[in-house]
Amino acid sequence: MNTALESYLRQRLEKKQLLVMTHVVCGYPSFEDNLRELEVMADFDVDLVELQFPFSEPSADGPLFVKANELAIRAGVRPEHCFEFMAKITARFPFKVLMMGYYNTAFKMGPERFLSRLQGAGGCGYILPDLPVEEAADLNARADAMGLAPIVLMTPTSTDRRLAKLGAAARGFVYAVARKGVTGQHTDMSDELTGFVDRCRRHTPVPIAVGFGISDKNDIDFLRGKADMAIIGTAALKAWEQGGEDALRRFFAGLGIA
């Protein structure tokens, strides 16, 4: 099933060899900071943004995002604030927006309310890295019926049988995790990664996005012609923490993406 998100990405790929998805943690350092970060990202023509809903146990995230989640929660950021912010940015910016978070958020809200709020806020799908595909069937089927894309993660340690199962459930694009571990550590760009991306392609027709450790122009250049989209998270947040808007602009300018 070709979702609205996949159609959007394929249209973008007609004009760009490699798309870019970025990451913002809702309310960290503040929603005002988030808005300024997103303005920079829009200026550099990013294609997609994953808006992370803070959670107390972000198991797939590295130390920087763990800290960001904790401080946002401590500041009182709740899912309802994140949906309100999502609605504001989807109305303002040209890029598409995904909800990124953990299953507890969807579970506590219930699938119908979660998906309805996501759709109402203009989101195009969600990434829930702690929800196994075997346990996601009901939520994903409901999302499918609403035109929302449940994004699946493929990892280098997965067997071909596992990749085939994930590929069958994939909508929008596949998030190819470049290496074992959590976000934030640098990833070696190598033939091994190229081989993994090729394995992913054999098991799904949707675009392939590579994330975990993408941090500089060399990484972007390596992925051109191999993946469809680069996912940039920790490196952008580090730039923001080091020097705010000016540093973030320098970071994106250095990537050579626009």
Closest CA to 50 of 38, 58, 64, 62: 38
Task: Indicate which residue of 37, 47, 61, 219 is catalytic.
Answer: 61
Task: Report how far apart the first and last C-alpha atoms of the chain are (Å, whole number).
Answer: 31
3-state SS assignment for residue 62? coil
Q: How far is CA 252 from CA 46, 116, 221, in A?
A: 10, 34, 14
User: How many residues are present in the chain?
Assistant: 258
Q: Is residue 81 within 8 Å of 27, Cβ to Cβ?
A: yes
Question: If you search the block for the tokens 């994106």, which residue do you land on?
Answer: 252
Rounded to an integer, what distance in angstroms lies between the CA atom of residue 30 and that of residue 40?
16
61 is catalytic: yes
219 is catalytic: no
Q: Quick one: which H or E segment has residue 152?
A: strand 152-154
Task: Indicate which residue of 6, 37, 47, 50 is catalytic.
Answer: 50
Q: Tokens in use for 150? A: 């449940």
Closest CA to 240 of 22, 94, 75: 22
Q: Which residue numbers are catalytic? A: 50, 61
